[in-house]
Amino acid sequence: MTENLIGKIEEYLSEQFLHDKKRLEHIHSVMQKALELGEIFRVSKDKITIASLLHDATKKLSFPENYSMARIIFAEETIKHSPKPCLHAYSATALAKIKFQIDDEEILNAIAYHCSGRKNMGILEKIIYIADYIEETRTFIVDEEIKHSSKVDLDRTVYLIMKETEHYLKEHNRPLAKDTLEAIEAYESKGGF
Ligand SMILES: [Fe+2]
Ligand SMILES: [Fe+2]
Nearest to 157 by CA among 133, 178, 124: 133
The Cα 115–Cα 54 span in angstroms is 13
Secondary structure, 3-state, 82-148: CCHHHHHHHHHHHHHHHCCCCCCHHHHHHHHCCCCCCCCCCHHHHHHHHHHHHCCCCCCCCCHHHHH
The ligand with the least distance to the CA atom of 26 is 2
The Cα 27–Cα 11 span in angstroms is 13
The answer for residues whose C-beta is within 8 angstroms of residue 179's C-beta and 6 or more apart is: 81, 82, 113, 116, 117, 118, 119
The ligand with the least distance to the CA atom of 30 is 2
Query: Distance, CA 90 to ligand 2 centroid (Å)?
Result: 13
Predicted pLDDT of residue 139: 79
The ligand with the least distance to the CA atom of 29 is 2
Number of neighbours of residue 101 by Cβ within 10 angstroms: 8
Predicted pLDDT of residue 31: 98
Predicted pLDDT of residue 188: 97
Query: Distance, CA 52 to ligand 2 centroid (Å)?
Result: 8
pTM for the structure as a whole: 0.97
Q: How confident is the chain (193 residues) per 10-residue block, as mean pLDDT?
A: 93 97 97 98 98 98 96 93 93 98 98 98 98 91 92 98 96 96 97 88
The CATH number of residue 87's host domain is 1.10.3210.10
> What range defines the domain where residue 17 resides?
2-189
Number of neighbours of residue 67 by Cβ within 10 angstroms: 16
The number of domains in the chain is 1
Query: Distance, CA 125 to ligand 2 centroid (Å)?
Result: 13
Predicted pLDDT of residue 141: 82
